[in-house]
Protein backbone atom coordinates (compact mmCIF):
# COMPACT_ATOMS: atom_id res chain seq x y z
CA UNK A 1 0.00 0.00 0.00
CA UNK A 2 1.51 3.35 -1.07
CA UNK A 3 1.46 6.47 1.06
CA UNK A 4 -1.51 8.05 -0.76
CA UNK A 5 -3.61 4.93 -0.32
CA UNK A 6 -2.63 4.73 3.34
CA UNK A 7 -3.64 8.37 3.93
CA UNK A 8 -6.94 7.80 2.11
CA UNK A 9 -7.60 4.75 4.27
CA UNK A 10 -6.84 6.65 7.50
CA UNK A 11 -9.08 9.54 6.47
CA UNK A 12 -11.95 7.28 5.47
CA UNK A 13 -11.66 5.26 8.68
CA UNK A 14 -11.63 8.31 10.94
CA UNK A 15 -14.62 9.93 9.20
CA UNK A 16 -16.58 6.67 9.21
CA UNK A 17 -16.03 6.40 12.96
CA UNK A 18 -17.24 10.02 13.31
CA UNK A 19 -20.57 9.36 11.59
CA UNK A 20 -22.75 9.65 14.70
CA UNK A 21 -21.07 12.90 15.73
CA UNK A 22 -21.41 14.30 12.21
CA UNK A 23 -25.13 13.55 12.09
CA UNK A 24 -25.60 15.31 15.42
CA UNK A 25 -23.83 18.38 14.02
CA UNK A 26 -25.99 18.28 10.90
CA UNK A 27 -29.11 17.94 13.06
CA UNK A 28 -28.09 21.01 15.06
CA UNK A 29 -27.62 23.00 11.84
CA UNK A 30 -30.95 21.88 10.35
CA UNK A 31 -32.85 22.58 13.56
CA UNK A 32 -31.35 26.07 13.62
CA UNK A 33 -33.65 27.44 10.96
CA UNK A 34 -32.13 30.17 8.83
CA UNK A 35 -34.30 31.63 6.06
CA UNK A 36 -32.44 34.06 3.80
CA UNK A 37 -34.88 36.94 4.23
CA UNK A 38 -34.87 36.95 8.05
CA UNK A 39 -31.48 38.42 9.02
CA UNK A 40 -32.42 38.42 12.72
CA UNK A 41 -32.16 34.61 12.87
CA UNK A 42 -28.53 34.31 11.77
CA UNK A 43 -26.60 35.22 14.95
CA UNK A 44 -27.55 31.84 16.41
CA UNK A 45 -26.23 29.68 13.55
CA UNK A 46 -23.15 31.88 12.96
CA UNK A 47 -22.41 31.71 16.68
CA UNK A 48 -22.52 27.92 16.52
CA UNK A 49 -20.23 27.80 13.49
CA UNK A 50 -17.77 30.26 15.05
CA UNK A 51 -17.49 28.11 18.18
CA UNK A 52 -17.02 24.92 16.16
CA UNK A 53 -14.28 26.54 14.11
CA UNK A 54 -12.57 27.95 17.20
CA UNK A 55 -12.32 24.44 18.64
CA UNK A 56 -10.61 23.38 15.41
CA UNK A 57 -7.99 26.10 15.79
CA UNK A 58 -9.60 28.67 13.52
CA UNK A 59 -10.27 32.32 14.21
CA UNK A 60 -13.72 33.27 12.95
CA UNK A 61 -14.73 36.81 11.98
CA UNK A 62 -18.35 37.87 11.57
CA UNK A 63 -19.28 40.63 9.13
CA UNK A 64 -22.82 42.01 9.49
CA UNK A 65 -24.98 42.74 6.48
CA UNK A 66 -27.19 45.74 5.80
CA UNK A 67 -30.27 43.74 4.83
CA UNK A 68 -28.96 40.20 5.36
CA UNK A 69 -27.32 38.15 8.08
CA UNK A 70 -23.85 39.00 6.72
CA UNK A 71 -21.10 36.41 6.38
CA UNK A 72 -18.42 34.55 8.29
CA UNK A 73 -14.72 34.29 7.38
CA UNK A 74 -12.27 32.06 9.22
CA UNK A 75 -8.57 31.23 8.99
CA UNK A 76 -6.21 29.15 11.17
CA UNK A 77 -5.03 30.90 14.32
CA UNK A 78 -1.56 29.54 13.67
CA UNK A 79 -0.69 29.80 10.01
CA UNK A 80 2.41 30.12 7.91
CA UNK A 81 2.88 33.76 6.99
CA UNK A 82 2.38 34.52 3.28
CA UNK A 83 1.47 30.89 2.58
CA UNK A 84 -0.99 30.60 -0.34
CA UNK A 85 -4.58 29.74 0.55
CA UNK A 86 -7.39 27.51 -0.67
CA UNK A 87 -10.98 28.59 -0.15
CA UNK A 88 -13.87 26.56 1.26
CA UNK A 89 -17.22 28.15 0.41
CA UNK A 90 -20.67 27.47 1.82
CA UNK A 91 -23.93 29.18 2.72
CA UNK A 92 -26.06 28.69 5.81
CA UNK A 93 -29.22 30.34 4.51
CA UNK A 94 -32.12 28.28 3.17
CA UNK A 95 -35.29 28.89 1.17
CA UNK A 96 -37.43 27.57 4.04
CA UNK A 97 -39.44 29.86 6.32
CA UNK A 98 -39.18 29.73 10.10
CA UNK A 99 -41.21 26.88 11.62
CA UNK A 100 -40.94 24.71 8.50
CA UNK A 101 -39.65 22.06 10.93
CA UNK A 102 -43.21 21.65 12.18
CA UNK A 103 -44.31 20.19 8.85
CA UNK A 104 -40.93 18.98 7.58
CA UNK A 105 -39.01 17.72 10.63
CA UNK A 106 -35.43 16.55 10.82
CA UNK A 107 -35.58 12.80 10.31
CA UNK A 108 -32.95 10.07 10.21
CA UNK A 109 -33.84 6.86 8.41
CA UNK A 110 -31.73 3.82 7.59
CA UNK A 111 -30.05 5.38 4.56
CA UNK A 112 -31.32 8.97 4.48
CA UNK A 113 -31.45 12.18 6.49
CA UNK A 114 -34.13 14.74 5.67
CA UNK A 115 -35.11 18.19 6.83
CA UNK A 116 -35.19 21.80 5.59
CA UNK A 117 -31.75 22.72 4.28
CA UNK A 118 -30.19 19.30 4.93
CA UNK A 119 -29.29 18.86 1.25
CA UNK A 120 -28.94 22.52 0.30
CA UNK A 121 -26.58 22.90 1.99
CA UNK A 122 -26.12 22.21 5.68
CA UNK A 123 -24.63 18.83 4.91
CA UNK A 124 -21.94 20.69 2.98
CA UNK A 125 -21.19 22.89 5.99
CA UNK A 126 -20.94 19.74 8.12
CA UNK A 127 -18.42 18.41 5.61
CA UNK A 128 -16.29 21.54 5.95
CA UNK A 129 -16.16 21.18 9.75
CA UNK A 130 -15.26 17.51 9.71
CA UNK A 131 -12.75 17.73 6.89
CA UNK A 132 -10.90 20.32 8.97
CA UNK A 133 -11.28 18.17 12.08
CA UNK A 134 -9.89 15.14 10.26
CA UNK A 135 -6.81 17.09 9.17
CA UNK A 136 -6.30 18.27 12.75
CA UNK A 137 -6.74 14.88 14.45
CA UNK A 138 -4.62 12.96 11.93
CA UNK A 139 -2.00 15.73 11.94
CA UNK A 140 -2.16 16.15 8.17
CA UNK A 141 -0.85 19.49 6.92
CA UNK A 142 -2.10 20.80 3.54
CA UNK A 143 0.33 22.63 1.29
CA UNK A 144 -2.28 25.38 0.83
CA UNK A 145 -3.82 26.96 3.94
CA UNK A 146 -7.59 26.34 4.12
CA UNK A 147 -9.75 29.43 4.76
CA UNK A 148 -13.54 29.39 5.13
CA UNK A 149 -16.25 31.67 3.78
CA UNK A 150 -19.89 31.08 4.77
CA UNK A 151 -22.56 33.60 3.77
CA UNK A 152 -26.23 34.07 4.59
CA UNK A 153 -27.56 35.40 1.28
CA UNK A 154 -26.60 32.83 -1.38
CA UNK A 155 -30.20 31.79 -1.99
CA UNK A 156 -31.11 35.40 -2.81
CA UNK A 157 -28.16 36.07 -5.11
CA UNK A 158 -25.26 36.79 -2.69
CA UNK A 159 -25.85 40.46 -3.39
CA UNK A 160 -24.23 41.71 -0.19
CA UNK A 161 -21.52 39.07 0.20
CA UNK A 162 -20.25 38.62 -3.35
CA UNK A 163 -17.77 41.51 -3.24
CA UNK A 164 -16.03 39.99 -0.22
CA UNK A 165 -16.07 36.56 -1.82
CA UNK A 166 -14.58 37.95 -5.03
CA UNK A 167 -11.75 39.57 -3.04
CA UNK A 168 -10.97 36.24 -1.39
CA UNK A 169 -11.16 34.35 -4.68
CA UNK A 170 -8.62 36.72 -6.24
CA UNK A 171 -5.98 35.72 -3.68
CA UNK A 172 -6.90 32.03 -3.38
CA UNK A 173 -5.18 29.35 -5.42
CA UNK A 174 -8.47 27.42 -5.69
CA UNK A 175 -12.02 27.28 -4.35
CA UNK A 176 -14.12 24.30 -3.28
CA UNK A 177 -17.88 24.96 -3.28
CA UNK A 178 -19.89 22.74 -0.93
CA UNK A 179 -23.17 23.05 -2.83
CA UNK A 180 -25.09 19.80 -3.41
CA UNK A 181 -23.92 17.72 -6.38
CA UNK A 182 -26.03 17.03 -9.46
CA UNK A 183 -28.73 14.41 -8.99
CA UNK A 184 -28.91 11.44 -6.61
CA UNK A 185 -25.83 9.96 -8.33
CA UNK A 186 -23.82 12.94 -7.10
CA UNK A 187 -22.14 14.42 -10.17
CA UNK A 188 -19.70 17.21 -9.39
CA UNK A 189 -20.41 20.55 -11.03
CA UNK A 190 -17.69 21.69 -13.42
CA UNK A 191 -19.85 24.24 -15.27
CA UNK A 192 -22.78 26.45 -14.33
CA UNK A 193 -24.95 28.72 -16.40
CA UNK A 194 -24.85 32.44 -15.81
CA UNK A 195 -27.97 33.96 -14.28
CA UNK A 196 -29.59 37.29 -15.07
CA UNK A 197 -32.59 39.18 -13.70
CA UNK A 198 -34.44 41.97 -15.49
CA UNK A 199 -37.43 44.13 -14.62
CA UNK A 200 -39.56 45.50 -17.45
CA UNK A 201 -42.04 48.27 -16.62
CA UNK A 202 -44.61 49.53 -19.10
CA UNK A 203 -46.33 52.90 -18.87
CA UNK A 204 -49.61 53.40 -20.71
CA UNK A 205 -52.55 55.76 -20.19
CA UNK A 206 -55.65 55.18 -18.05
CA UNK A 207 -59.15 55.60 -19.42
CA UNK A 208 -62.64 54.27 -18.66
CA UNK A 209 -62.95 50.86 -20.32
CA UNK A 210 -66.62 51.40 -21.13
CA UNK A 211 -66.98 55.13 -21.78
CA UNK A 212 -63.66 56.17 -23.39
CA UNK A 213 -61.57 53.08 -24.24
CA UNK A 214 -60.11 54.78 -27.31
CA UNK A 215 -58.53 57.45 -25.07
CA UNK A 216 -56.47 54.90 -23.16
CA UNK A 217 -53.23 53.09 -23.89
CA UNK A 218 -53.20 49.63 -22.35
CA UNK A 219 -49.93 48.83 -20.61
CA UNK A 220 -51.12 45.23 -20.40
CA UNK A 221 -51.56 44.95 -24.17
CA UNK A 222 -48.11 46.49 -24.65
CA UNK A 223 -46.65 44.05 -22.13
CA UNK A 224 -48.20 41.14 -24.03
CA UNK A 225 -46.28 42.22 -27.15
CA UNK A 226 -43.05 42.46 -25.16
CA UNK A 227 -43.54 39.03 -23.60
CA UNK A 228 -43.73 37.50 -27.08
CA UNK A 229 -40.52 39.30 -28.05
CA UNK A 230 -38.79 38.01 -24.93
CA UNK A 231 -39.77 34.41 -25.54
CA UNK A 232 -38.55 34.72 -29.14
CA UNK A 233 -35.07 35.35 -27.70
CA UNK A 234 -34.84 31.77 -26.40
CA UNK A 235 -32.10 29.86 -28.22
CA UNK A 236 -31.83 26.22 -27.04
CA UNK A 237 -28.87 25.50 -29.34
CA UNK A 238 -26.84 28.23 -27.61
CA UNK A 239 -28.21 27.38 -24.16
CA UNK A 240 -29.93 30.76 -23.82
CA UNK A 241 -33.18 30.69 -21.86
CA UNK A 242 -35.47 33.65 -21.22
CA UNK A 243 -38.43 33.24 -18.90
CA UNK A 244 -41.06 35.77 -17.83
CA UNK A 245 -41.74 34.42 -14.39
CA UNK A 246 -43.98 37.12 -12.89
CA UNK A 247 -46.26 39.77 -14.34
CA UNK A 248 -48.47 42.43 -12.75
CA UNK A 249 -50.44 45.47 -13.81
CA UNK A 250 -53.65 47.40 -14.01
CA UNK A 251 -55.75 49.11 -11.36
CA UNK A 252 -59.30 47.86 -11.99
CA UNK A 253 -61.23 45.68 -14.48
CA UNK A 254 -63.07 48.74 -15.81
CA UNK A 255 -59.93 50.83 -16.39
CA UNK A 256 -57.55 50.67 -19.35
CA UNK A 257 -54.33 49.64 -17.57
CA UNK A 258 -51.94 52.58 -17.11
CA UNK A 259 -49.03 50.39 -15.98
CA UNK A 260 -47.77 46.82 -16.00
CA UNK A 261 -44.52 45.02 -15.30
CA UNK A 262 -42.70 41.72 -15.80
CA UNK A 263 -39.85 40.03 -13.96
CA UNK A 264 -37.55 38.10 -16.26
CA UNK A 265 -35.05 35.29 -15.62
CA UNK A 266 -32.20 34.69 -18.08
CA UNK A 267 -29.69 31.83 -18.25
CA UNK A 268 -26.60 31.71 -20.50
CA UNK A 269 -23.65 29.40 -21.10
CA UNK A 270 -20.95 32.02 -21.51
CA UNK A 271 -20.10 35.65 -20.89
CA UNK A 272 -20.39 36.59 -24.56
CA UNK A 273 -23.99 35.37 -24.75
CA UNK A 274 -24.72 37.15 -21.49
CA UNK A 275 -23.64 40.46 -23.02
CA UNK A 276 -25.64 39.72 -26.18
CA UNK A 277 -28.92 38.90 -24.44
CA UNK A 278 -28.53 41.85 -22.06
CA UNK A 279 -28.22 44.21 -25.01
CA UNK A 280 -31.28 42.63 -26.66
CA UNK A 281 -33.49 42.98 -23.57
CA UNK A 282 -32.36 46.50 -22.71
CA UNK A 283 -32.96 47.46 -26.34
CA UNK A 284 -36.65 46.50 -26.45
CA UNK A 285 -38.90 49.20 -27.89
CA UNK A 286 -42.68 49.71 -27.50
CA UNK A 287 -45.20 48.71 -30.18
CA UNK A 288 -48.18 50.85 -29.16
CA UNK A 289 -47.92 54.57 -29.94
CA UNK A 290 -47.21 56.72 -26.87
CA UNK A 291 -46.55 53.76 -24.56
CA UNK A 292 -43.22 53.74 -22.72
CA UNK A 293 -40.81 51.03 -21.53
CA UNK A 294 -38.44 51.18 -18.55
CA UNK A 295 -36.01 48.27 -18.32
CA UNK A 296 -33.35 47.50 -15.73
CA UNK A 297 -31.19 44.54 -14.78
CA UNK A 298 -28.36 42.40 -16.09
CA UNK A 299 -26.38 39.22 -15.59
CA UNK A 300 -25.84 39.07 -11.82
CA UNK A 301 -23.87 35.82 -11.81
CA UNK A 302 -21.52 35.30 -14.74
CA UNK A 303 -21.26 31.71 -16.03
CA UNK A 304 -18.90 29.22 -14.44
CA UNK A 305 -17.19 28.09 -17.62
CA UNK A 306 -15.08 25.04 -18.41
CA UNK A 307 -11.60 26.52 -17.91
CA UNK A 308 -8.31 24.63 -17.82
CA UNK A 309 -7.82 25.39 -14.14
CA UNK A 310 -11.33 24.15 -13.29
CA UNK A 311 -10.67 21.01 -15.31
CA UNK A 312 -7.47 20.39 -13.32
CA UNK A 313 -9.48 20.44 -10.07
CA UNK A 314 -12.00 17.98 -11.52
CA UNK A 315 -9.18 15.62 -12.52
CA UNK A 316 -7.81 15.84 -8.96
CA UNK A 317 -11.25 14.99 -7.57
CA UNK A 318 -11.61 12.03 -9.90
CA UNK A 319 -8.19 10.71 -8.87
CA UNK A 320 -8.93 11.08 -5.17
CA UNK A 321 -12.35 9.56 -5.65
CA UNK A 322 -10.69 6.47 -7.07
CA UNK A 323 -8.59 6.25 -3.89
CA UNK A 324 -11.87 6.03 -1.96
CA UNK A 325 -13.54 3.61 -4.34
CA UNK A 326 -15.80 6.30 -5.80
CA UNK A 327 -16.55 6.43 -9.52
CA UNK A 328 -17.15 10.15 -9.87
CA UNK A 329 -18.72 11.96 -12.80
CA UNK A 330 -19.36 15.61 -13.57
CA UNK A 331 -21.82 17.86 -15.39
CA UNK A 332 -23.26 21.32 -15.95
CA UNK A 333 -25.83 22.93 -13.65
CA UNK A 334 -28.53 25.25 -14.97
CA UNK A 335 -28.62 27.22 -11.71
CA UNK A 336 -26.06 29.60 -10.30
CA UNK A 337 -24.07 29.52 -7.06
CA UNK A 338 -21.12 31.25 -5.42
CA UNK A 339 -18.98 29.06 -7.69
CA UNK A 340 -19.97 31.39 -10.54
CA UNK A 341 -18.23 34.17 -8.61
CA UNK A 342 -15.06 32.35 -7.59
CA UNK A 343 -14.57 30.81 -11.04
CA UNK A 344 -13.99 34.27 -12.50
CA UNK A 345 -10.82 34.57 -10.43
CA UNK A 346 -9.52 31.14 -9.44
CA UNK A 347 -9.77 27.40 -10.07
CA UNK A 348 -13.18 26.26 -8.84
CA UNK A 349 -14.88 22.92 -8.25
CA UNK A 350 -18.56 22.99 -7.30
CA UNK A 351 -21.07 20.39 -6.13
CA UNK A 352 -18.78 18.89 -3.49
CA UNK A 353 -21.66 18.57 -1.02
CA UNK A 354 -23.51 15.40 -0.08
CA UNK A 355 -25.56 13.46 -2.69
CA UNK A 356 -29.31 13.41 -2.20
CA UNK A 357 -32.32 15.07 -3.79
CA UNK A 358 -35.07 17.63 -3.29
CA UNK A 359 -33.33 21.00 -3.20
CA UNK A 360 -36.04 23.57 -2.39
CA UNK A 361 -38.62 20.75 -2.25
CA UNK A 362 -40.52 19.13 0.65
CA UNK A 363 -38.80 15.76 0.16
CA UNK A 364 -35.29 17.25 0.59
CA UNK A 365 -32.82 14.61 1.82
CA UNK A 366 -29.22 13.37 1.72
CA UNK A 367 -27.76 9.87 1.67
CA UNK A 368 -26.03 9.06 4.96
CA UNK A 369 -23.26 7.14 3.19
CA UNK A 370 -22.69 10.14 0.94
CA UNK A 371 -22.01 12.39 3.92
CA UNK A 372 -19.09 10.13 4.89
CA UNK A 373 -17.73 9.60 1.37
CA UNK A 374 -17.85 13.23 0.30
CA UNK A 375 -16.26 14.45 3.53
CA UNK A 376 -13.39 12.04 2.90
CA UNK A 377 -13.14 13.31 -0.69
CA UNK A 378 -13.03 16.94 0.48
CA UNK A 379 -10.32 16.10 3.01
CA UNK A 380 -8.15 14.49 0.32
CA UNK A 381 -8.68 17.46 -2.00
CA UNK A 382 -7.46 19.83 0.70
CA UNK A 383 -4.22 17.83 0.77
CA UNK A 384 -3.66 18.19 -2.97
CA UNK A 385 -0.60 20.24 -3.91
CA UNK A 386 -1.00 23.52 -5.77
CA UNK A 387 -1.96 22.37 -9.27
CA UNK A 388 -0.96 25.61 -11.07
CA UNK A 389 -2.61 24.96 -14.46
CA UNK A 390 -1.77 27.27 -17.36
CA UNK A 391 -5.13 29.07 -17.41
Question: Which CATH number characterizes residue 285's domain?
Answer: 3.30.70.360
Of 266, 284, 301, the last residue of a domain is 301
**Same domain membership, residue 155 and residue 66:** yes
3-state secondary structure 138-195: CCCCCCCEEEEEEECCHHHCCCCCHHHHHHHHHHEEEEEECCCCECCCCEEEEEECEE
Model confidence at 2, pLDDT cuts 50, 70, 90, reads: low
Of 237, 271, 301, the last residue of a domain is 301
**Same domain membership, residue 339 and residue 277:** no
**Same domain membership, residue 245 and residue 365:** no
pLDDT tens digits, residue range 311-348? 999 999 999 999 999 999 999 999 899 999 999 999 99
Residue 389 has pLDDT above 80, yes or no: no
**Same domain membership, residue 341 and residue 288:** no
Model confidence at 1, pLDDT cuts 50, 70, 90, reads: very low
What is the mean pLDDT of the segment spanning 167-188?
97
Question: Which CATH number characterizes residue 79's domain?
Answer: 3.40.630.10
**Same domain membership, residue 105 and residue 83:** yes
What is the mean pLDDT of the segment spanning 159-168?
97
**Same domain membership, residue 336 and residue 236:** no
Q: Are 53 and 148 in contact (CB under 8 A)?
A: yes
The vertex-163 CA angle with 343 and 345, nearest 5°, equals 25
From CA 158, how far away is CA 151, in angstroms rounded? 8
Please check whether residue 117 lies inside any domain of the structure: yes
**Same domain membership, residue 157 and residue 52:** yes
From CA 333, how far away is CA 1, in angstroms rounded? 37
Q: Is the pTM of this model over 0.75?
A: yes
From CA 109, how far away is CA 226, in angstroms rounded? 50
The vertex-221 CA angle with 220 and 222, nearest 5°, equals 90
Could you list the residue range(s) of the whole structural domain that residue 284 is in?
194-301
User: Into how many domains does the chain fold?
Assistant: 2
pLDDT tens digits, residue range 278-287? 999 999 999 9
Residue 92 has pLDDT above 60, yes or no: yes
Of 266, 301, 336, the last residue of a domain is 301
Please check whether residue 390 lies inside any domain of the structure: no
**Same domain membership, residue 181 and residue 36:** yes
Amino acid sequence: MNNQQDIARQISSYITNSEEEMIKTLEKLVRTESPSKQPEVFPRILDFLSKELNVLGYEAFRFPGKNTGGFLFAHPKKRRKHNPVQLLVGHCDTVWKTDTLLSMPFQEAEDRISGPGAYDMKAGITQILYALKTLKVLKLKPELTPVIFINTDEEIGSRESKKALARLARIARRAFILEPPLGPEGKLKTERKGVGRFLLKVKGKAAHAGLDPEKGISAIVELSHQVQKLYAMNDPDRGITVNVGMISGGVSPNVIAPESSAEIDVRVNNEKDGAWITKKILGLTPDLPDSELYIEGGIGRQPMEATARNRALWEAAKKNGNQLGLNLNHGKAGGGSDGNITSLYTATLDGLGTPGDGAHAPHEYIFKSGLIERTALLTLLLLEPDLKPDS
